[in-house]
Amino acid sequence: MESEIKCPKCNSLMEEGFLLDRGSENFLFPAWWVAGNPEKSIWMGLSIKNREVFNIKAFRCSNCSFLEFYAP
Ligand SMILES: [Zn+2]
């Protein structure tokens, strides 16, 4: 799916997608943007308690492969 967003490097149209977080064999989730530095938790690998999180939109240039991320 082509977006209206243009590549800042070569000015071609960019394709919309997302980053996949493959933490488990059976479940696939889109990756999130999390505020601050990663902090280890005994229970979940990383703790994101009280953090601001956003889904990430990733745009890829079909011409030069440049990636640009947005967290609306
Ligand atoms: Zn490009």
DSSP secondary structure of the chain: -EEEEEPTTT-PEEEEE--EE--SSS--EE-EEESS--EEETTTEEE-TT--EEE-EEEEETTT--EEEE--
Tokens at 21, concatenated: 């977080």
d(CA 33, CA 31): 7
Alpha-carbon distance of 33 to 45, in angstroms, equals: 16
Q: Please tell me whether the overall predicted TM-score, pTM, comes out greater than 0.85 for this model.
A: no
Q: How far is the CA of 48 from the centre of ligand 1 (A)?
A: 33
pLDDT at residue 70 in the model: 93
Instruction: Find the 60 Cα to ligand 1 centroid distance in Å.
Output: 8
Give the distance (Å) from ligand 1 centre to CA of residue 29.
Answer: 27
Q: How far is the CA of 70 from the centre of ligand 1 (A)?
A: 16
pLDDT band at 1; cut points 50, 70, 90 = low
What tens digit of pLDDT does each residue of 4-57 get? 899 999 999 999 999 887 766 677 788 889 999 988 887 767 888 889 999 999
Which pLDDT belongs to residue 3? 74
Query: What is the pLDDT, as a whole number, of residue 35?
Result: 93
Instruction: Kindly give the distance from the C-alpha atom of residue 68 to the centroid of ligand 1, in angstroms, as a whole number.
Output: 10
Check whether 60 has a pLDDT greater than 90: yes
Q: Under a CB-based contact definition with an 8 Å cutoff, are residues 51 and 44 in contact?
A: no
CA 67 / ligand 1 centre spacing (Å): 8
